[in-house]
């Protein structure tokens, strides 16, 4: 007999994946995978910490839910008429699978097929995402970005509310190919954001590569930030696809039909027509503005760095939209699940099919705290030739530049998702002098841009803390304790608390960032935006330049 989740997945499989976010949300609700909160919830101090408890509170993966907040307020007492949804994309593999319209075990093959057989989108002349258009003077406070219920992700550390569940659309000025990537964007004013894209010359984000070209041309870069796209569209953002491959075509292949797109109102880009909200704007590529602190998925708070200021030219949305946000920062989280469900089968297919490695049976990307990428376990059949074991280790370490800092091969009697079992295998089945290799010259893991400028290596490292570090990227203790009290008053699933469950200082933190965090939690983030506006500079060459390094004399005063 099918349970509710099986029925929901079977329904979407028959009709194809839902191409509207609210239709997907209805499927989740029908499957019993939605927790609807009608009590007033403060988006600046309570919303994300409340949902985070299901990731750090020992809630079993199959018990995680999408949260729908229907009575959203902020630290100033403002009430919002737009619900906020968190966890609806990938709080669990089951939720992700319903969004894909497939069983979990079919997702890897679906991605491989979609990447190799994209379906070009179609352009329509009218769209749900443009039922309401806000532009001109209407973008000023209290309208514009102020009217969106954007949560503070890591209360106690974050400098502002952040857009997290994004698809940031830009276009290559040479080829005309659009790129969609999931990048964070900090609210700075009612009509201004600061966008952070991974800025590395060789392996940086597609949007960053576009930025370089517009900067060299002396032109502003159009950008559209899409919130609340259909899951198969949203899932393409975190994927590492070829630079010249338009993600919307891959989404079409996942959907089995072309994705409907529409031209933006104020810029020359096309966006998914069924999206909930679209923020249009221009990035001045000759200027950079301090952005962050913000809790990162590598487990630390990203400290202040210069990034891309975006002037908003329009906000378009459905007449009755919902606002989508995701839980990131310390893993497990929604952002780690959204990668894990797709990445693990992709790595397995690479080793088994592309490299034809004999004996490989599973790939497990360790999730808790390490955010998947640095630590990978590869399971092989017993008696697999050592040559094949070493090919598997090197293959897993080189598929993606920022994945596979530590790769461990285990036999098929070891559960690669059990760290205790892997440690036992390491202790009793390896001789380090014979069974360990150190491989130099690899790309750094996420967050490496905040450390020394040097290449990374694979396999064994000393992981002790040797210098002051940014805070642990969880809401501070007071916010998490308050959220736990709220969780218990709402009679939600019993928690099993394991450490770490709140953020704390590790020595690298300034009074400026503490002030930003307190303002964000109090709803006064715009005051910080006014201050960082005064700190915009034209003499900083690259995004992600450390603000402290540039402004060191002022900081020391």
Cβ neighbours of residue 248 closer than 8 Å, sequence gap 6 or more: 121, 178, 180, 233, 236, 259, 261, 272
Instruction: Give CA–CA dist 110/408, Å, rounded.
Output: 27
Pair 292, 431 in one domain? no
Q: What is the pTM of this model?
A: 0.84
CATH of the domain at 120: 2.30.110.10
**pLDDT in the model for residue 444:** 62
Instruction: Give just the sign of the alpha carbon dihedral 528, 529, 532, 534.
Output: negative
Cβ atoms within 10 Å, residue 322: 21
Confidence of residue 461 (pLDDT cuts 50, 70, 90): very low
- What percent of the chain stands above pLDDT 70? 92
The tally of CA atoms less than 13 A away on the side-chain side of residue 46 is: 20
Residue 412 located in a structural domain: yes
What residues make up the domain containing 449? 344-458
Residue 488 located in a structural domain: no
Confidence of residue 15 (pLDDT cuts 50, 70, 90): low
Question: Which residue do the tokens 């996420």 mark?
Answer: 446
Pair 235, 284 in one domain? yes
Pair 295, 421 in one domain? no
Indicate the residue among 308, 330, 352 that finishes a domain.
Answer: 330
Pair 238, 181 in one domain? yes
The tally of CA atoms less than 13 A away on the side-chain side of residue 451 is: 17
Cβ atoms within 10 Å, residue 431: 7
Mean of all residue pLDDT scores within the chain: 90
Pair 323, 386 in one domain? no
Q: How confident is the model over 115-152, as pLDDT tens digits?
A: 999 999 999 999 999 999 999 999 999 999 999 999 99
Indicate the residue among 282, 299, 330 that finishes a domain.
Answer: 330
**pLDDT in the model for residue 472:** 76
Q: Say yes or no to pLDDT of 213 above 90.
A: yes
Pair 250, 352 in one domain? no
CATH of the domain at 414: 3.40.1670.10
Cis peptide before 60 (omega within 30 of 0): no
Confidence of residue 169 (pLDDT cuts 50, 70, 90): very high
For the record, the structure tokens of 143 come out as: 């309208």
Pair 426, 372 in one domain? yes
Residue 556 located in a structural domain: no
Higher-pLDDT residue of 312 and 495 is 312
Pair 314, 363 in one domain? no
Residue 464 located in a structural domain: no
Pair 354, 264 in one domain? no
Find out whether 234 and 247 touch, Cβ atoms under 8 Å.
no
Find out whether 69 and 84 touch, Cβ atoms under 8 Å.
yes
Residue 514 located in a structural domain: no
Indicate the residue among 458, 492, 524 that finishes a domain.
Answer: 458
Among 218-227, 302-311, 441-450, name the one with the lowest average pLDDT: 441-450
- Angle at 451 (CA atoms; ends 395, 213), nearest 5 degrees: 75
Q: What is the DSSP letter of 506?
A: B
**pLDDT in the model for residue 342:** 87
Structural domain count, the chain: 2
Distances (CA, A) of 428 to 410, 424, 434, 455: 11, 6, 14, 32
């Amino acid at each position: 007999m099918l349970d509710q989740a099986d029925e929901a997945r079977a329904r979407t499989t028959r009709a194809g994946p839902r191409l509207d976010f609210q239709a997907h949300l209805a499927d989740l609700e029908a499957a019993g995978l939605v927790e609807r909160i009608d009590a007033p919830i403060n988006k600046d101090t309570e919303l994300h910490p409340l949902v985070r408890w299901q990731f750090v509170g020992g809630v079993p993966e199959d018990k995680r839910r999408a949260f729908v907040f229907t009575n959203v307020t902020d630290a100033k007492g403002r009430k919002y008429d737009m619900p906020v949804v968190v966890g609806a994309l990938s709080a669990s593999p089951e939720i992700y699978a319903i969004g894909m319209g497939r069983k979990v075990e079919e997702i890897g093959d679906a991605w491989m097929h979609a990447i190799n057989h994209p379906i070009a989108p179609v352009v329509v002349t009218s769209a749900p995402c443009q039922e309401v258009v806000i532009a001109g003077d209407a973008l000023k406070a209290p309208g514009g970005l102020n009217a969106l219920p954007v949560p503070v992700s890591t209360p106690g550390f974050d400098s502002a509310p952040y857009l997290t569940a994004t698809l940031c659309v830009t276009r290559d000025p040479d080829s005309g190919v659009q790129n969609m990537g999931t990048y964070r964007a900090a609210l700075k004013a009612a009509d201004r954001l600061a966008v952070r894209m991974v800025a590395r010359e060789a392996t940086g984000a597609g949007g960053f590569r576009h930025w370089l070209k517009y900067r060299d041309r002396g032109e502003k870069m159009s950008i559209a930030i899409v919130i609340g796209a259909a899951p198969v569209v949203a899932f393409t953002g975190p994927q590492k696809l070829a630079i010249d491959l338009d993600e919307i075509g891959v989404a079409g292949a996942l959907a089995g039909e072309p994705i409907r797109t529409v031209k933006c109102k104020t810029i020359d880009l096309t966006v998914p027509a069924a999206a909930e909200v679209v923020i249009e704007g221009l990035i001045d590529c000759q200027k950079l503005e301090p952005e962050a602190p913000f809790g990162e998925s590598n487990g630390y708070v990203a400290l202040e760095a210069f990034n891309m200021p975006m002037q908003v030219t329009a906000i378009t949305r459905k007449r009755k939209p919902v606002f989508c946000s995701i839980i990131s920062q310390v893993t497990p989280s929604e952002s780690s699940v959204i990668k894990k469900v797709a990445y693990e089968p992709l790595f397995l297919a690479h080793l088994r099919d592309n490299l034809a490695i004999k004996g490989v049976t599973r790939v497990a990307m360790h999730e808790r705290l390490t955010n998947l990428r640095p630590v990978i376990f590869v399971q092989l059949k017993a008696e697999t030739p050592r040559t094949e074991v070493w090919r598997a280790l090197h293959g897993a370490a080189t598929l993606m530049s920022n994945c596979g800092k530590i790769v461990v091969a285990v036999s098929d009697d070891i559960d690669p998702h059990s760290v205790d079992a892997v440690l036992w295998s390491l202790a009793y089945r390896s001789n380090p002098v014979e069974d360990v290799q150190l491989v130099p010259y690899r790309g750094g893991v996420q967050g490496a841009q905040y450390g020394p400028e040097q290449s990374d290596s694979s396999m064994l490292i000393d992981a002790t803390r040797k210098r002051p570090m940014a805070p642990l990227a969880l809401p501070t203790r007071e916010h998490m304790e308050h959220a736990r009290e709220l969780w218990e008053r709402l009679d939600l699933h019993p928690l099993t608390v394991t450490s770490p469950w709140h953020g704390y200082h590790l020595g690298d933190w300034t009074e400026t960032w503490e002030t930003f965090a307190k303002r964000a939690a109090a709803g006064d983030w715009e005051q910080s935006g006014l201050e960082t506006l005064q700190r915009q500079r034209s003499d900083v060459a690259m995004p992600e330049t450390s603000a402290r390094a540039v402004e060191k004399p002022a900081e020391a005063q």
